[in-house]
Amino acid sequence: MTDLAPALLEILRYPDPRLHTVARPVQGVDDRIRALIERMFATMHAANGIGLAATQVDVHERLIVIDVSEARDQPLVLINPEFEWLSPETRKGEEGCLSVPGIYDGVERAIAVRVRALDAQGLARSIEAQDMLAVCIQHEMDHLLGRVFVEHLSPLKRLRIQSKLAKAQREALRA
Ligand code: NI
């Protein structure tokens, strides 16, 4: 057998309405889910992302892959994640999203979180995170609720982003 790289998935682009779908819980951590996890990691790495929610690849189940490490060797899988705790202290930091290419803006987030989730083996884990990982978890968990980070911005900023993305898309089609 040849060692085939997992096929990449298409990432939905804002304002695709499918990004507003609320994900349902994963029913069982089986081979289908593990294959999806592999393809999501490959897709995220190919796009130079640090997190990807299943919602972004048009699979509406509560599944997130994350790797915020520089060496891309600390994969984190969150299945059916739920917040156990969010720090009352928040901070505004710059965020981007593979579904909103080229756009970065400030979002206020808790600086630390604790989440309970299943891992790729289906085992329940409690994960404490701070700084970039905490922000990434909050950003990806928003996706599972059908929320894109630009929805934290003002309506005016959101309109500007939509017209900028539409223009970029028109130019890509013309090229
Ligand atoms: Ni995102």
Taking residues 39-61, report their average pLDDT. 98
Q: Residue 45: pLDDT above 80?
A: yes
Ligand 1 geometric centre to CA of 170 (Å): 22
Instruction: Give alpha helix (H) positions in 28-154.
Output: 31-46, 131-144
What was the pLDDT predicted at 2?
53
The encoded tokens of residue 52 equal 């990807």
Q: Residue 3: pLDDT above 70?
A: no
What was the pLDDT predicted at 128?
98
Q: Residue 157: pLDDT above 80?
A: yes
State the average pLDDT for the chain. Answer: 95
171 against 112, higher pLDDT: 112
The encoded tokens of residue 53 equal 């929610």
What was the pLDDT predicted at 173?
87
Give residues whose Cβ lies within 5 Å of ion ligand 1: 97
50 with 67: CB under 8 angstroms? yes
Ligand 1 geometric centre to CA of 1 (Å): 35
Residue 117: how many CA atoms within 13 Å on its side-chain side?
24
What was the pLDDT predicted at 172?
87
Q: What share of the chain is helix, strand, coil (3-state, %, to 5)?
A: 35, 25, 40
Taking residues 110-136, report their average pLDDT. 98
CB count within 10 Å of CB 128 equals 12
Q: Which residues are catalytic?
A: 140
Nearest-Å Rg of the Cα atoms of the chain is 16
Ligand 1 geometric centre to CA of 159 (Å): 18
- The predicted-structure confidence for 88-104, as pLDDT tens digits, reads as follows 999 999 999 999 999 99
pLDDT > 90: percent of the chain: 91
Ligand 1 geometric centre to CA of 18 (Å): 13
Q: Which helix (H) or strand (E) holds 1?
A: none
Ligand 1 geometric centre to CA of 72 (Å): 18
Ligand 1 geometric centre to CA of 100 (Å): 7
What was the pLDDT predicted at 175?
78
